[in-house]
Amino acid sequence: MKTAVVTGGAGFVPSHLVDRLLADGLRVVALDNFITGHKRNIAHLEGNENFIFREADVSEPFEVEGEVDYVFHMASPASPIDYVQVPIETLKAGSYATHNSLDLALRKKARFLMASTSEVYGDPEVHPQTEDYQGNVSTTGPRSCYDEAKRYAEAAVMAYHRHHGVETRIVRIFNTYGPRMRLDDGRVVPAFIGQALEGKPLTIFGDGAQTRSFCYVSDLVEGIWRLMQSDCLQPVNIGNPHEMSIKEFAEAIAAATGTQTGMKGCPLPEDDPKVRRPDIGRAREVLDWEPVVSFDDGIRKTIDYFKEFVG
């Protein structure tokens, strides 16, 4: 039985990854300090003999006993409201925690995958974004603690590969949604769904013309697992290339929830990307991957999940 280590394992995306790895017959060791993760995301795994959880801050050096085949470094605050509130912890997740996770992979001779982000492209001047685009990122803006931490982490990953020979992979994750997101995490999917279910107007920042591309979490996890098992050393975009404006997304949520609450405008946050859509040509070619879950199906499942928390 192979063993995978997942940092940030109680988070939204990592907890779904843990489920997938266990379903594929792996033993999983998950670590999390619950800054943004939650125990309920892994509560269903209690008693699973192939799942081990440790409460730990991986920004501090850590060890895992026994053989390790895969290290997935997924730990980091990942929404604007989080990384603005905990900027130092966000920087440490991209720097110290990346080094500690890479050191574990080096000691164990394990294959390593780092969860990067479309935010490395900043407010892009190239659209859609290919992996070769080097980005338009502010080093001093309010989002820089996240953007630059991830860009640094990518550099660290490649340094360990080139200098130490660690087998490394980098996934650049685009907007992802699904069950286990936090209702209060500030991202547009839970924000709009929560407001709609509570009968409140949906908050539109700016004129709502800025675009996003939404990928359902099971599609993302499939892409991550395929990347880890591939021979691809280059960063790979994983996301859904179907693009919609924020206003269009708000209208879709209103229709899906059957609400007529309207919308209210707010100023656009500083450095908020105006467009976001992945070019997934590399994922199609190298991983034979593309998203398969329709927007309607994914949103319905996500809304049903949030109904448990909105009374």
Confirm if 34 and 58 have CB atoms less than 8 A apart: no
- Host H or E run for residue 211: strand 211-213
Q: Which residues contact 30 (CB under 8 A, 6 or more apart)?
A: 5, 6, 7, 9, 10, 14, 18, 42, 51, 52, 53, 54
Q: Cα–chain-centroid distance for residue 60?
A: 22
* Ramachandran quadrant class, 251 (left: phi over 0; alpha: psi -120 to 50; beta: rest): alpha
Pairing type for strands 51-55 and 215-216 reads: unpaired
| Catalytic annotation, pick one of 83, 121, 146, 216 | 146
What is the full DSSP assignment across 216-231?
EHHHHHHHHHHHHHS-
Pairing type for strands 211-213 and 243-245 reads: antiparallel
Q: Is there a catalytic annotation at residue 146?
A: yes
Confirm if 231 and 169 have CB atoms less than 8 A apart: no
Alpha helices, DSSP H, located in the chain: 12-23, 80-85, 87-94, 96-108, 144-164, 188-197, 217-229, 246-257, 281-282, 295-306
**Length of the chain, please?**
311
CA trace torsion 302, 79, 75, 90 (10° rounding): -170
Shortest CA distance to 167 belongs to which of 75, 238, 102?
Answer: 102
Q: 195: number of CA atoms within 13 Å, CB side?
A: 22
Q: Which residues contact 9 (CB under 8 A, 6 or more apart)?
A: 15, 18, 28, 30, 31, 32, 37, 42, 53, 74
Q: Which residues are catalytic?
A: 146
